Amino acid sequence: MAIVQRFARIATLDHVWGNINNSVFNGFGKGEANPATGLSEGEIVFNQFPASFSPLLCKSWKCKQHKCLSAEENDGGGNLFSISDGIQDHSEDVIIRYPTGDEIHTYSLVKQLDPEHQVSLNRFWGKYSGPVAVVGFEPFEELLTPAGPGRALIYGTRSVMVEVEPNVTQPLSCVWSGELNFLDRTRELPYPMRFSYQIAAATWSSVNSVFHKRMTVVASAEKSPGLGWI
């Protein structure tokens, strides 16, 4: 399979909607991603949002494009664009699980509109009953395992620091699993892939319902069992 190089800045367009804790929300956003560095930045503005949840608690509300646009690493690592001969349009179907026993389901579709624009459509629904005041972030990882033509299994985990009472914080982790499907079913991952994410900055304004994030991601070939490998 050919490795396709693309090192141009890409404009990203996002639509996020759903129902969490019986509260309906709808948001639109835009941003920019640089495949040469793995850095992206963007913002989503919601019409309303449940007070009992925060976008900062979830797997991600804006990184679906990263599997396509991430910087490449050594040892044969590549993003979905490079390993799929440039045809990386895909969907993700994932369940996010919290230590409270709550679950949030997310379905997303990522499509390349043209060489300079990519769109991400994301639906989230489910329940959450834990703390919502996020005050810090840890780097996190996601693994893709080949599962035949057009399909890969997804597993990831992420930890944030939450404020549980004034000046008292504790870690809160979530895990997610599901599958990625190329819209072109002849596409196939050539090897397991690891995506390493680093959040440079992320903010959520519950007053204005504005979510902003700046993040980097690097893709690498996975050569040995690692995080959650099953």
| pLDDT value for 14 | 92
Going by pLDDT thresholds of 50, 70 and 90, the confidence category of residue 1 is very low
| pLDDT value for 188 | 83
| pLDDT value for 100 | 92
Going by pLDDT thresholds of 50, 70 and 90, the confidence category of residue 29 is very high
pTM: 0.86
Average per-residue pLDDT for the chain: 84
Q: What is the DSSP track for the chain? A: -PPPP--S-EEEEEEEEEEETTEEEEEEEEEEEETTTTEEEEEEEES---TT--GGGSS-SS-TTHHHHPEE-STT---HHHHTTT---EEEEEEEE-TTS-EEEEEEEEEEEETTEEEEEEEEEE---S---EEEE--EEEEEEE-STTEEEEEEEEEEEEEEETTEEEEEEEEEEEEEEESSTT---SS-EEEEEEEEEEEEETTTTEEEEEEEEEEEE--S--TT--
Going by pLDDT thresholds of 50, 70 and 90, the confidence category of residue 176 is very high
Q: Residues 94-119: what's their mean pLDDT?
A: 90
% of the chain exceeding 70 in pLDDT: 80
| pLDDT value for 63 | 52
**Domains parsed from the chain with CATH numbers:** 10-221 (2.40.155.10)
